[in-house]
Amino acid sequence: MSDAPSDARRSLQRNSVRTSIDVDAVAKAAGVVLDLRDEELAFELPGRLFEQLPFAVYVCDRDGLVLRYNRCAAELWGRAPKLRDSDERFCGSYRMFRPDGSLLLHHQCPMATVLRTGISVREQEVHIERPDGSRGIALVDIEAIKNSDGNIVGAVNCFQDVTERKRSEEQIVNLAREAEHRTKNILATVLATVRLSHSATSDNLKQLIEGRIDALAKVHTLFVESRWAGAELHRLVTQELMAYGGESKVRVRIDGPAVMLEPSMAQTTAISLHELATNAAKYGSLSATRGHVEITWRLTVDRRLILRWIESGGPTVTPPTHRGFGTRIMENMIGQLRGEVRFDWRDQGLTCEIALPLA
């Protein structure tokens, strides 16, 4: 069984191991590009060095013409721009955006600023759009290259693709938010259970509350397994009915298509099944040795789940005059999800139909 919080922690640790870039060293190598008179050497020597680097790098001259870039840069840009092209100044990317989503024109990009000011840039986030429309997030480090007189002759940009890292950071934040929301929701249900459960003796009351909290705990385990995506209905039903014969088919028959319920629907369904099952064991078909229950479901074209609980073989049933916690919590929770619950007190046993709109 996976544990979401520690998975998230591991993922954070993994992603925080960032290749540290020695921009100064790269700038020295880049300086060779700008200094060497021998054009061929100037091109080949740092070029070979750059290809060994595990991150993207490119060099511009003082006018922003791209003199050299490595394969990692071309991969991130999704293109291989022509060198020294005056139409492609400051960066080889197709388009750039700021983290707030606004367009970042090439002459406004961090490389253009460094060439103008000489002030280094460290870990600035730039969103890159490739010609195919896909986007990547880069962290850029830029260092100006100056000649012996201190004049800017160019700059080197070392940048890393942090798209995956950003995505998993976002996932972690969403997971934490979902976990917080679920925890509050579960605690509210537990509180309501404790407040509204009644029984003649304290021992019975304890048992009743324990059973209800246990039903919540079991569905919670399914959420954790699916990293809070929800719970598979067949597993949820089987788990809840386990104590009454599970899928043994003698007392309980479970049948329906595969469907993943999002957490609030799964929680409501689990509580409802728990109340139906305990009622069946107290008053209905599961209180008789030959009685059984059938749980079936289907999905409608308008994306609703219709779950039917059909009891038979138990004592003759008459419509009840009393409404306890079971009936009220079911009506309440199902109503909150804009669903409906209908009880049909047939002589041969209770039939209950629950309709829930799928998210």
Ligand X SMILES: Nc1ncnc2c1ncn2[C@@H]1O[C@H](COP(=O)(O)OP(=O)(O)OP(=O)(O)O)[C@@H](O)[C@H]1O
Give the residues lining the site for ligand X (CB under 6 A).
198, 208, 275, 279-280, 283-284, 311, 317, 320, 322-327, 350
Retrieve residue 185's tokens: 């929701």
136 or 326: CB nearest Mg ion: 326
If we measure between CA atoms, which residue out of 50, 63, 31 comes closest to residue 145? Answer: 31
If we measure between CA atoms, which residue out of 265, 242, 263 comes closest to residue 254? Answer: 242
To the nearest 10°, report the CA torsion of 263, 268, 273, 275. 140
Looking at 50-58, 131-139, 204-212, 317-325, which segment touches Mg ion (CB under 5 A)?
A: 317-325
Shortest reach from residue 326's CB to ligand X, in Å = 2
Of positions 127, 279, 310, 317, contacts Mg ion by CB under 5 A: 279
Shortest reach from residue 233's CB to ligand X, in Å = 21
- E strand or H helix that includes residue 32: helix 23-35
> Which residues, 6 or more positions from 58, have their beta carbon under 8 angstroms from its beta carbon?
66, 67, 68, 69, 70, 73, 91, 92, 156, 157
Shortest reach from residue 286's CB to ligand X, in Å = 8
Shortest reach from residue 139's CB to Mg ion, in Å = 58
Q: What is the Cα–Cα distance from 180 to 250, expressed in whole angstroms? A: 41
158 or 350: CB nearest ligand X: 350
Q: What binding mask, one character per residue, do residues 321-340 give for Mg ion by CB under 5 A, x or -?
A: ---x-x--------------
Counting residues that bind Mg ion (by CB under 5 A) gives 3
What residue 37 binds from Mg ion, ligand X, none (CB within 5 to 8 A, per partner kind)? none
* Length of the chain in terms of residues written: 359
Shortest reach from residue 171's CB to ligand X, in Å = 39
Nearest residue to Mg ion by CB is 326
> Which residues, 6 or more positions from 329, have their beta carbon under 8 angstroms from its beta carbon?
192, 193, 196, 271, 275
Angle, helices 233-241 vs 202-225, to 10°: value is 150
- E strand or H helix that includes residue 330: helix 325-336
261 SS3 class: strand
6 or 316: CB nearest ligand X: 316
Cβ(27)–Cβ(143) below 8 Å:
yes
133 or 319: CB nearest ligand X: 319
Shortest reach from residue 237's CB to ligand X, in Å = 16
What residue 31 binds from ligand X, Mg ion, none (CB within 5 to 8 A, per partner kind)? none
Q: What binding mask, one character per residue, do residues 134-163 give for Mg ion by CB under 5 A, x or -?
A: ------------------------------
Distances in whole angstroms, Cα of residue 258 to Cα of each of 232, 236, 239, 344, 355 = 7, 11, 15, 26, 16
226 or 327: CB nearest ligand X: 327
DSSP structural state of residue 134: -
78 or 291: CB nearest ligand X: 291
127 or 212: CB nearest Mg ion: 212
Q: What is the Cα–Cα distance from 82 to 265, expressed in whole angstroms? A: 56
Retrieve residue 16's tokens: 């925080």
If we measure between CA atoms, which residue out of 344, 316, 9, 290 comes closest to residue 171? Answer: 9
What residue 131 binds from Mg ion, ligand X, none (CB within 5 to 8 A, per partner kind)? none
Q: What is the Cα–Cα distance from 37 to 240, expressed in whole angstroms? A: 79
What residue 323 binds from ligand X, Mg ion, none (CB within 5 to 8 A, per partner kind)? ligand X
64 or 326: CB nearest Mg ion: 326
Shortest reach from residue 288's CB to Mg ion, in Å = 17
70 or 197: CB nearest ligand X: 197
197 lines the binding site for Mg ion (CB under 5 A): no
Shortest reach from residue 204's CB to ligand X, in Å = 9
Q: What are phi and psi of 22, to 5 degrees?
A: -95, 85
Shortest reach from residue 333's CB to ligand X, in Å = 13
- E strand or H helix that includes residue 155: strand 152-161
Q: What is the Cα–Cα distance from 57 to 50, expressed in whole angstroms? A: 7
Binding-site ranges for Mg ion (CB under 5 A): 279, 324, 326
